Amino acid sequence: DAKTTQPNSMESNEEEPVHLPCNHSTISGTDYIHWYRQLPSQGPEYVIHGLTSNVNNRMASLAIAEDRKSSTLILHRATLRDAAVYYCIISPQIGSGTYKYIFGTGTRLKVLA
């Protein structure tokens, strides 16, 4: 199973951009890259996903390296509500139409007012 490596924690000032890195050097060609975040005592919340090209949505941007061995989640303007644990997940296919998530340790983002 593809593994991910993320920094344990990061800090950011409010209103500033945040770049959360993730290494996934064992990724396979058809594996998607997903990002989720989790607040205490809640289920993970979907943030963004991609395969090869960079992606943007209302929450964040995802920059994927050309060799796909790393990616970066970009929060353009951090707010206090963005403080959470962010998980980078590679999802290998385990069956027809079934993709498994393996969670790493994630990055705990602290946003300073």
What is the torsion angle, in degrees rounded to the nearest 10, for the CA atoms of residue 12, residue 45, residue 5 and residue 10? 10
- The answer to whether 42 contacts another protein (rule: CB under 8 A) is yes
Beta bridge partners of 108: 9, 85
* Strand duo 32-38 + 93-95: pairing: unpaired
- The answer to whether 49 contacts another protein (rule: CB under 8 A) is yes
- The answer to whether 34 contacts another protein (rule: CB under 8 A) is yes
Q: Minimum Å distance from CB 66 to another protein?
A: 21
Query: Judged by CB, which is closer to another protein: 43, or 81?
Result: 43
Beta bridge partners of 98: 95
- The answer to whether 87 contacts another protein (rule: CB under 8 A) is yes
- The answer to whether 112 contacts another protein (rule: CB under 8 A) is no
- The answer to whether 70 contacts another protein (rule: CB under 8 A) is no
Q: Minimum Å distance from CB 59 to another protein?
A: 13
* Coil/strand/helix, residue 80: helix
- The answer to whether 99 contacts another protein (rule: CB under 8 A) is yes
Alpha carbon 36 to chain centroid, angstroms? 6
d(CA 76, CA 61): 8
Looking at residue 48, what DSSP letter applies?
E
Interface residues with another protein (CB under 8 A) are 32, 34, 36, 41-46, 49, 51, 87, 91, 94-95, 97-106
